Amino acid sequence: MRPRNHFMQQIENESVGTLLLYQPTCLDHHNDTHQENRQRLSVLCGPEGVLRMERFKNLRWANLNELRPARLNDLMRVHTHQYLQHLEQSCAKLPPQNEEYTVGELYDDSYSLTYADWLASEKGQQVYAVENPPSSGSFDMDAPISSASYLAAKYAAGAVCHAIDKVMKKETRNAFVVVRPPGHHAGPNGCVDSEGFHRRPEMCTCGFCLLNNVAIGAAYAMCTYAPPYYTSTASPNKNSSSVQRIAIVDFDIHHGNGTEDIIRNLIPHKKRYPLPPSWGPLDFSSYMPWRDENDTDNVFFASIHLYDDDNFYPCSGSGPHGCSQELKDHPNIINMPMEVLGPRYLEDRLKISYKSKHALMEEASKTFRQNVSQRLIPSLRAFNPDLILISAGFDGHADDFYYFLSEDDYGWITEQIINVAEECCNGRIVSVLEGGYNKPARSKAKAANSNFHFAAKLHNREIDEELHGYGSLARSCAAHVTALLHAPNGPT
């Protein structure tokens, strides 16, 4: 990689670069102190957010008045109407939210509103003053919701579609979409059953997700930017603004089961109702194409994740192609499960020493990078996509206790994906926030033994003291966005 200052100068001199799409309306998904709460967005884009640091001054922030909620027809390419109605009605029946800490809708064609202006306003200051407003209901056992949760989810999906427009119209090189609730566990009809469903029914939830933001964006891109079907045109080339083939890469530590199920739904098939084992099998036909009958040949999905049978949500993605019989018609679905390292259960992982954890971080980084180098990147390059979407989850970080990665690993995988994008699709990438839950910084008194300092030593770099006041979600996002910012600005 060329020196950092070269890239920063290059970005300053170009009209393209990295677009940051942050939708404050996503703060209106109120769920109290739940693990996936609105502080996740505050540590990234709030008044003291990491992405507002001086080092990220070359990020271009999308104007808030341009960010519309996703349309129903865009949602219905991947989700059933019954599910969308159920979600909407579940939120609508809840009591209204407190206006003092509710953002509301910011989209308006009549004027321009920058995020900086909104943040400086009385309303912006007021909203961030309240950390975790209470929820008023539950969608399932994993998902507290409030009356505006469905609207927040639609705005999240709409931001992804807006990012795709900007990338495809060559107004930006790549984009990072900071939204919530996350989406990659939401399938066509919401919750997706797994191999371990009957053994652990409580594992069958939407995993904090409401709408599948990345899948909605992928389907939108395929339908909006496909080469004309009824009109003869020259074959599209990689410099054109068209999408024939689209790739989704998911590096959240949890299997992207919802996204996989949506892609399985691109061909007609039978789905079995998740009934108790004593019931005779009952199934139903399912098929939700995006563009045509060749969709399954033109959509790539790869997920690198932790798998531990029925002890780690969502208990799926167990092999190279999951259940080979189920996925025999989906050669472009690639699962890369990683085994549990160290103690199996969270309460035991919390007790391990720094020395043991650092050894596990070294092993985790090696395993992760081998999977990416040997399996993900060759498969992605061979697929030769016209656009790459990333489900960017950072919950595999050692400070999140699921696995033992560091922010360096997230920066590294981003660079690898960028390299493929440069070869295949002129660098076109839209990355969307998924998981990552460690928000507060650790005490500086433990600096000598911290994961933060060990990661710098492990990956042979200087300690970035400016980031020491941030938790792993912020640091990992910073590494991810830094890589996007440093992507070469070649011909678009």
Q: What is the pLDDT of residue 440?
A: 74
132-165 in b/e form (b: 16+ CB < 10 A) is ebebbbebbebbbbbbbbbbbbbbbbbbbbbbbb
For residue 346, the enclosing domain spans: 4-18+157-485
Dist. CA 463–CA 458, nearest whole Å: 11
The answer to whether position 372 is within a domain reads yes
Please tell me the least confidently modeled range out of 106-115, 159-168, 287-296, 415-424: 106-115
Q: What is the pLDDT of residue 12?
A: 43
In the predicted model, is pLDDT for residue 11 greater than 90? no
Q: What is the pLDDT of residue 234?
A: 62
Please tell me the least confidently modeled range out of 110-119, 179-188, 445-454: 445-454
Chain length of the chain: 492
pLDDT (tens digit per residue) in 13-64:
444 699 999 999 999 999 998 999 999 999 999 999 999 999 999 999 999 9
Give Cα 477 to chain centroid, integer Å.
11
Q: What is the pLDDT of residue 131?
A: 86
pLDDT (tens digit per residue) in 286-342:
999 999 999 999 999 999 999 998 789 998 998 765 455 666 778 999 999 999 999
Stretch 173-202: mean pLDDT: 89
Q: What is the pLDDT of residue 491?
A: 47
Please tell me the least confidently modeled range out of 141-155, 221-235, 328-342: 221-235
Stretch 223-237: mean pLDDT: 80
pLDDT (tens digit per residue) in 393-421:
999 999 998 999 999 999 999 999 999 99
pLDDT (tens digit per residue) in 246-260:
999 999 999 999 999
In the predicted model, is pLDDT for residue 155 greater than 70? yes
In the predicted model, is pLDDT for residue 96 greater than 50? yes
In the predicted model, is pLDDT for residue 3 greater than 80? no
Q: What is the pLDDT of residue 272?
A: 84
- State the pLDDT confidence band at 441, using cuts at 50, 70 and 90: low
432-455 in b/e form (b: 16+ CB < 10 A) is bbbbbbbbebbeeeeeeebbbbbb
- State the pLDDT confidence band at 349, using cuts at 50, 70 and 90: confident
Q: Are 43 and 439 in contact (CB under 8 A)?
A: yes
Amino acid identity, residue 378?
A: P
**For residue 309, what is the domain's CATH number?**
3.40.800
Q: What is the pLDDT of residue 344?
A: 87
Amino acid identity, residue 47?
A: P
Amino acid identity, residue 5?
A: N
Q: What is the pLDDT of residue 326?
A: 65
The answer to whether position 56 is within a domain reads no
361-395 in b/e form (b: 16+ CB < 10 A) is bbebbebbeebbeebbbebbeebebbbbbbbbbbb
The answer to whether position 415 is within a domain reads yes
Dist. CA 74–CA 86, nearest whole Å: 17
Dist. CA 283–CA 299, nearest whole Å: 25
The answer to whether position 58 is within a domain reads no
| Residue of 31, 398, 17, 49 lying closest to 182 (CA atoms) | 31
Dist. CA 392–CA 389, nearest whole Å: 9
The answer to whether position 75 is within a domain reads no
Stretch 79-86: mean pLDDT: 98
Q: What is the pLDDT of residue 233?
A: 66
Q: Which tops the pLDDT comparison, 1 or 364? A: 364
Question: What average pLDDT is seen over the chain?
Answer: 90
The answer to whether position 260 is within a domain reads yes
Tokens coding 469: 């006041």
Q: Are 216 and 161 in contact (CB under 8 A)?
A: yes
The answer to whether position 63 is within a domain reads no
As for how many domains the chain has, the answer is 1
Please tell me the least confidently modeled range out of 152-166, 238-252, 319-333, 424-438: 319-333
The answer to whether position 88 is within a domain reads no
